[in-house]
Structure 1
């Protein structure tokens, strides 16, 4: 391994290790360039809290995109560029907490298999995510790994909590994720792609069951007896409530088309396009995400996030 005169590994060495899945190398790389990343964020955002948020967002983007670096010797400049782009995206957005371009919805021409392959991450990263509490895990997955990313305000509505609570949960999740990455690189973990593919098959089977008239039977088999559908913190119904809602949509001519899945240990997100009938094109928003908490492999809680129209 090469390095500087002090014997420390070079940026190229650390990048190579990070690209090959060494969490410690990625952690060291981010730590080495943290000061420069903060300086860029502060110069653009103008205040410490927003700058810290931008650096944390940029760090998670780097986790996903470390293999995209074309000039490893300039990885520091690459990290600062990500920070700058994150900051500019926040400033340009009408709502400061709007989703980042990096996490935009997948292109329509992509099929589920291509989307899964493109968004699948290293197993050690999923191991780190699974070390988070269920609340933090859902928050970070929804914000950073779901193609249709809700804003902080929308996430607050989903869970019935203040926006400040969402911000604090994300901050805590990011900090714990960074710590966990350093300890999970060598841990055995279920293959992330296998989990996601299995979840994608279940999503397509669920939609097919609804189309074919046996949605209630499938839900009874695959969802817990105490299943709850939640709006914010309020439980508004169980399995029967959801079955009636699905049947009502189908009777109105609304169909759901599976887009992609994100699956962890006990949190699953299904992304669906909503196809409205020709005579009522505005019946439903254009898309919906199923946010599911799992228990023993069965769906136990569900929240729906509808993409805004327009």
Structure 2
């Protein structure tokens, strides 16, 4: 694997070295264009803290999408465009476009993608997730919520979800980003697990859980896939255990509410399931439009559950 050795490598060379797994190349590329990226963020957001957050978000997006850059010598405009999109999305108060590609994308079904591009994209995804798994459980959950969940919570929503101050969420996220870069450097030459297989398995488990609930078999499935002391949490408070969760699902079904699986994001011991909530025709406002299951796993079984409900339109 060739490293960045030239005194002043071109953007095209840095992009290629990044695709080959060179963390130093990515750092050099982002460092070269950081001032321009921050200038774009400041012009749109005005606040230095928000601008720095936008640049950090854009840097992670760039890492995960480096294989989509068709003209490596245009890395600067591409990076600034990513920052611009992140800022505009923040201004619209919608989730930033940082979610994992859907299963079709992970399977290499994107239009126009050739074998080399597909392999490259898969390798980058697996490398990134290998690094995510190296984070502590708290930092791993924080970065997954912020950067890999399709319906990304705001800082305030994340704070409410875990019962901590907003400042704690910000500091955790900054630490997670820093440690993620270090973890990527440490795992660049490692054998990376197949994130696609893990996501597929988690998606199948979500579908099986919903089917078991609708068929009245959730208790049976829970005995196999949840720990005996599984808990549902609101902030830091444990609200109830296995019976509470089973009864809650049954109550929703009795009220005519159905959950429709959307996507799954899975790390070593943190899983996020995204669901649409389908309300009955006679009570269209019974539940918010969507919910995310945020699960902490223990020995591959659900041990803690928190629910994040998407805000009503």
Q: What TM-score, normalized to structure 2?
A: 0.87
Equivalent residues in 2 for 1:160-179, closer than 5 Å: 160-179=163-182
Q: Tell me, which stretches of 5 or more residues in structure 1 are unaligned?
A: 107-111
| CA displacement at 1:2 relative to structure 2 | 11
In structure 2, the residue matched to 1:99 is: 95
Equivalence for 2:113: none
* 1:24-43 superposed matches below 5 A: 24-43=24-43
Matches within 5 A, 1:1-310: 7-90=7-90, 92-93=91-92, 98-100=94-96, 102-103=97-98, 113-114=103-104, 117=107, 122-310=125-313
Give the Cα separation in 2 of the matches to 1:6 and 1:115.
34
Deviation, 1:283, is 1.1
Contact 2:161/2:306 (<8 A) preserved: yes
- 2:233 & 2:43 partners in 1: Cα distance? 41
Distance 1:238 1:294 in 2: 15
Report the CA distance shift for 1:8/1:66 in structure 2 as closer, same or farther (over 3 A).
same
Q: Distance in 1 between matches of 2:20 and 2:3?
A: 18
Give CA deviations for 1:133-156 in whole Å, capped at 9, x if unaligned: 111111110111011111111111
| More divergent stretch after superposition (4-13 vs 52-61) | 4-13
Q: Residue 47 of structure 1: CA displacement?
A: 4.1
Q: Is the 8 A contact 1:291 1:305 kept in 2?
A: yes
In structure 2, relative to structure 1, the CA distance for the partners of 1:16 and 1:43 (3 Å cut) is same
SS at match of 2:220: helix
Deviation at 1:307, TM superposition (A): 0.8
Contact 1:11 1:29 in 2 (8 A): yes
Give me the whole-angstrom Cα distance separating, in 2, the residues matched to 1:145 and 1:5: 33
SS at match of 1:33: helix
State the distance in 2 between where 1:262 and 1:17 align.
28
- Give the secondary structure class of the aligned counterpart of 1:122: helix
Q: What is the alpha-carbon distance in structure 1 between the residues aligned to residue 38 and residue 189 of structure 2? A: 30
8 Å contact kept, 1:274–1:288: yes
Distance 2:4 2:228 in 1: 60
Alpha-carbon distance between aligned partners in 1 of 2:228 and 2:4, rounded to the nearest angstrom: 60
Contact 2:4 2:24 in 1 (8 A): no
Q: 1:288 to 1:115 in 2, by over 3 A?
A: farther
Which one is further off, 44-53 or 139-148?
44-53
2:103/2:196 contact within 8 Å kept: no
C-alpha distance 275-116 of structure 1, shift in aligned 2 (>3 A) = farther
User: Which secondary structure state, in structure 1, belongs to the residue aligned with residue 55 of structure 2?
Assistant: helix
**Mapped contact 1:27–1:178 kept (Cα < 8 A):** no
Instruction: Provide the rounded CA distance (Å) in 1 between the counterparts of 2:85 and 2:103.
Output: 29
TM-score by length of 1: 0.88
Aligned residues: 300
Counterparts of 2:20 and 2:262 in 1: how far apart (Å)? Answer: 29
